[in-house]
């Protein structure tokens, strides 16, 4: 009786949420290598080696960003470990709008992406999360995808239970473990595919779907911290934007200078050198360094140093330097965070597999692909069980 109850709930959830899960799975496949594709597109716009001369200082680039974009107040300066990459200025949460990418050798604004590609991925992501619905119906659409995601989690767990046959023998397990010939029997094929794709992808899919639940539901996010006995953090705000305090100087590239403070370039060199020192958490160099632009009279400056692919939060650390001496005042590696904060950071990138590198992304993409087959075959089996009988002609009794 218990197994039959689970089966019918499993079937009902599959029927109600199947098409939404199908949509989320398909868009998940499309988004698998989004980071790599966008990075490749950006690199096509990088400064060629032949044009790489003397770099402008970070102060000069900041001055250009402020003077040539009067409506823009940068909060963060971002440098990639590639001589052809632009130096980027971002406004932070309070600044609004997009960032500015400057040629580090000329100060000219650089186009670093394909608008068509950006639109494609942003639209696909919006479809994945909420059917690309905007306006008043946005919350409703997100509610549907979140509920469908939760039902998908139940489908995976209940499906794992239902996968085990009533009679435990090798023959029954074998037909659920491996693909087999069905001799043109579509029902047998769908049954076989549903079970085989399910058992081989259920574990990574549970991780993918469970991590999405944390994004959708505050209670799931809070539970993640409570597991470690921690209080969930309140909604934080981004860093305050840098104060725009530019004197009336005409020469582009000049900027007010406070003699007792080290230049941004020297502080940047100190930060890069520190992360490259030999230690367990500082041995692989850096991919990107973000500098939070300080207030004019601030005595310290904060750097965020990313040693990973951009989707590996355990390789992202913070460093605070004194602007007066250039020395380290605080080192905040990922391991210094609370267990709850560490897990919450990783959860975001476990959903896409990026936390495990290219292999993790590939696995996440593959199980998204297999879930397409699982949903399709599941709906086909449900159709045969629930709908097909309604269309069968009743046999006419013999006279």
- Band of pLDDT at residue 1, cut at 50, 70 and 90: confident
Say what the pLDDT of residue 148 is.
97
pLDDT (tens digit, 9 = 90+) per residue, 37-61?
A: 999 999 999 999 999 999 999 999 9
45 is a domain residue: no
Residue 270 shares a structural domain with residue 329: yes
Residue 85 shares a structural domain with residue 139: no
Residue 128 shares a structural domain with residue 217: yes
Beta carbons of 108 and 327 less than 8 angstroms apart: no
Q: In what order do the strands lie in the sheet with 87-90?
A: 100-102, 87-90, 76-80, 288-292, 300-306, 316-322, 328-332
Q: Which domain holds residue 269?
A: 55-111+255-337
- Band of pLDDT at residue 235, cut at 50, 70 and 90: low
Residue 205 shares a structural domain with residue 139: yes
330 is a domain residue: yes
Residue 290 shares a structural domain with residue 375: no
243 is a domain residue: no
158 is a domain residue: yes
Residue 128 shares a structural domain with residue 24: yes
154 is a domain residue: yes
Residue 61 shares a structural domain with residue 148: no
Question: pLDDT: is 194 or 275 the higher one?
Answer: 194
Report the C-alpha gap between 211 and 232 in whole angstroms: 16
Beta carbons of 131 and 137 less than 8 angstroms apart: no
Residue 169 shares a structural domain with residue 286: no
Residue 189 shares a structural domain with residue 294: no
Say what the pLDDT of residue 330 is.
95
Residue 324 shares a structural domain with residue 195: no
pLDDT (tens digit, 9 = 90+) per residue, 352-388?
A: 999 999 999 999 999 999 999 999 999 999 999 988 8
Domain count within the chain? 2
Residue 10 shares a structural domain with residue 79: no
Beta carbons of 87 and 79 less than 8 angstroms apart: yes
pLDDT (tens digit, 9 = 90+) per residue, 299-347?
A: 999 999 999 989 999 999 999 999 999 999 999 999 999 999 999 999 9
Residue 213 shares a structural domain with residue 136: yes
Q: Which of 371, 374, 346 is nearest to 360 (CA)?
A: 346
Structure tokens at 384: 């045969």
What DSSP letter does each residue of 48-107 carry, written as one string? Answer: PGGG--SPPPHHHHHHHHHHS-TT----EEEEESSTTSPEEEE-HHHH-S--EEE-TTT-
98 is a domain residue: yes
67 is a domain residue: yes
Q: What is the mean pLDDT of residues 112-123?
A: 90
368 is a domain residue: yes
């Amino acid at each position: 009786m218990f197994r039959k109850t689970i089966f019918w709930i499993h079937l009902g959830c599959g029927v109600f949420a199947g098409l939404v899960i199908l949509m989320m799975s398909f868009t998940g496949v499309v988004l698998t290598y989004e980071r790599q594709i966008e990075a490749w597109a950006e690199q096509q716009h990088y400064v060629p080696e032949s044009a790489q001369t003397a770099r402008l200082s970070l102060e000069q680039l900041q001055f250009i960003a402020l003077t040539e974009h009067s409506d823009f107040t940068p909060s963060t300066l971002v440098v990639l470990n590639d001589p052809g990459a632009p130096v980027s200025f971002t406004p932070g949460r309070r600044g609004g709008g997009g960032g500015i990418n400057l040629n580090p050798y000329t100060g000219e604004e650089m186009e670093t992406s394909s608008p068509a590609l950006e639109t494609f991925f942003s639209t696909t992501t919006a479809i994945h999360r909420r059917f690309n619905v905007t306006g008043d119906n946005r919350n409703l659409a997100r509610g549907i995808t979140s509920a469908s995601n939760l039902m998908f989690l139940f489908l995976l767990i209940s499906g794992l239970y239902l996968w085990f046959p009533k009679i435990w023998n090798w023959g029954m397990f074998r037909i659920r473990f491996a693909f087999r010939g069905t001799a043109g029997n579509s029902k047998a094929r769908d049954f076989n595919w549903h079970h085989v794709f399910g058992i081989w992808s259920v574990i990574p899919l549970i991780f993918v779907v469970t991590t999405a639940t944390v994004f959708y539901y505050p209670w799931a996010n809070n539970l993640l911290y409570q597991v470690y006995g921690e209080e969930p953090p309140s909604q934080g705000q981004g860093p305050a934007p840098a104060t725009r305090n530019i004197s009336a100087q005409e020469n582009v590239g000049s900027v007010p200078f406070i003699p007792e403070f080290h230049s941004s370039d020297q502080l940047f060199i100190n930060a890069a050198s520190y992360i490259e020192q030999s230690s367990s958490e500082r041995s692989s160099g850096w991919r990107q360094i973000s500098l939070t632009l300080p207030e004019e009279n601030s005595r310290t400056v904060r750097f965020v140093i990313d040693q990973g692919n951009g989707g590996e939060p355990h390789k992202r650390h913070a460093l605070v330097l004194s602007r007066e001496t250039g020395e380290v005042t605080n080192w905040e590696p990922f391991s210094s965070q609370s267990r709850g904060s560490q897990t919450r950071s990783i959860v975001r990138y476990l959903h896409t597999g990026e936390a495990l590198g290219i292999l993790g992304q590939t696995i996440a993409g593959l199980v998204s692909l297999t879930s397409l087959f699982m949903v399709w075959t599941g709906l086909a089996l449900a159709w045969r069980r629930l709908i097909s009988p309604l269309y069968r002609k009743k046999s006419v009794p013999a006279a």
